[in-house]
A = this chain, B = another copy of it.
Amino acid sequence: MTPATDRKQETRERVLRAAGAALRQHGPDGIGIADIMRQAGLTHGGFYAHFKSKDDLVAQTLAHVFGRMTARAARLEQGLAPAAALAAQIDRYLSPAHRDNPANGCPLTTLANDIARQSDGARREFDAGMRALVARISGRLPGGPDDALARALLTEMAGAVMLSRAVASPALSDSILAGARVSVRARAGLPHLPPESTHAR
């Protein structure tokens, strides 16, 4: 029965991948089951073979997205010393590229106030995802692990990306991001930005 199970898992993965992008881009109320299933190459009726309800999909998608984020973060850090790894994460997080691509962005920045209105299941996944991010930051701080500082840095980072996306003026948006980059690096005890990174896309 393993090959059949594998095939089902693959389908599930495809649905979760489509849901991950749609959820972050349009929010829990902005996505439709039929749309997501279509993006996964299926019809909407098959949805309930994989998920109990739309609520369930949201929670599972959140877990899936955090998992993929962790894998991607590990890839970015390969071969870097802890401080350099942390600097790389911070710069990527606070980049215009992250701001401009919410469908692929950190759930903390795309979904924080949606999740506050969501079911317990989704909120627990959000909670776990945030703890993992805090642990990653904390363990790479030049001054040694410090969960409280890591939480404060992640708070400023997530807040900056959210606000930079909401605001209408590109100039204000850029200055929110650039300001946070300087501020978070300094608070983390990292060296100032090298000048060329300031203009990095």
Bound Cα distance from A29 to B120, whole angstroms = 20
CB-defined contacts of A115 to chain B, threshold 8 Å? 166
Give the interface size class of chain A: 35 or more
CB-defined contacts of A175 to chain B, threshold 8 Å? 148, 151
Q: Given that A156-B152, A175-B148 are known contacts, is A116 also in contact with B102, CB under 8 Å in the complex?
A: yes
Does A176 sit within 8 A of B, measured CB to CB? yes
Smallest CB gap from A134: residue in B:
B172
Convert A97-127 into 0s and 1s, putting 1 for each residue whose CB lies closer than 8 angstroms to a CB of B.
Answer: 0000010000011111111110010011011
Q: Looking at the complex, which one of B26, B113, B176 makes contact with A151 (CB distance below 8 Å)? A: B176
Does A19 sit within 8 A of B, measured CB to CB? no
- Is the beta-carbon distance between A165 and B113 smaller than 8 angstroms? yes
**A and B contact pairs by CB, cutoff 8 A, 26 listed:** A27-B113, A27-B114, A29-B30, A102-B116, A110-B113, A112-B113, A112-B162, A113-B114, A113-B165, A114-B114, A115-B166, A116-B165, A123-B167, A124-B168, A126-B166, A127-B169, A127-B172, A130-B172, A148-B175, A148-B179, A151-B179, A158-B159, A158-B162, A158-B163, A159-B159, A162-B162
Chain A interface residues toward B at CB < 8 A:
25-27, 29-30, 102, 108-117, 120, 123-124, 126-127, 130-131, 148, 151-152, 154-160, 162-163, 165-169, 172, 175-176, 179-180, 183
